[in-house]
Amino acid sequence: MGLNCTFCNESVINSDPSKGHPVSIAPYGVAHSYCAQQDLLYKRVFQGVRIAELDHQSFLELKEMVLTEDNVRSGMTNHVDLF
């Protein structure tokens, strides 16, 4: 009995290198790094923010913050407008 990936249910030991290395996903168990990353993309999670779970207003606020930060970093503006 081996350790199987939480997401694809295939063995993580001596597995296909394209699936990445074994990682531990608390509290679920072990997974291939590729499978874990794909799961986060599917659930639309970035840096712990569960984007798909935001209500519409919170999503719009996050979007505005990201666009403002992008403008500051790209030099389009040197200040942040607060509304």
- Angle CA(73)–CA(58)–CA(78) in degrees, nearest 5? 20
- Tell whether 1 and 35 lie within a shared domain: yes
The verdict on residue 80 lying in a domain is no
Q: Identify any residues that bridge with 50 across adjacent strands, giving them in sequence order.
A: 45
- Tell whether 39 and 53 lie within a shared domain: no
Per residue in 9-44, pLDDT (tens digit) is: 999 988 888 999 999 988 889 999 999 999 888 888
The verdict on residue 21 lying in a domain is yes
Which pTM was predicted? Answer: 0.61
Answer with the residue of higher pLDDT: 46 or 60. 60
The verdict on residue 53 lying in a domain is yes
- Tell whether 12 and 39 lie within a shared domain: yes
Number of DSSP helices (H) and strands (E) in the chain, helices first: 2, 4
Total structural domains within the chain = 2
Tokens of 46: 């970035």
Assess contact for 62 and 53: CB atoms under 8 A.
Answer: no
The verdict on residue 78 lying in a domain is no
pLDDT value of residue 81: 61
Per residue in 49-66, pLDDT (tens digit) is: 999 999 999 999 999 999
Q: Which domain holds residue 20?
A: 1-43
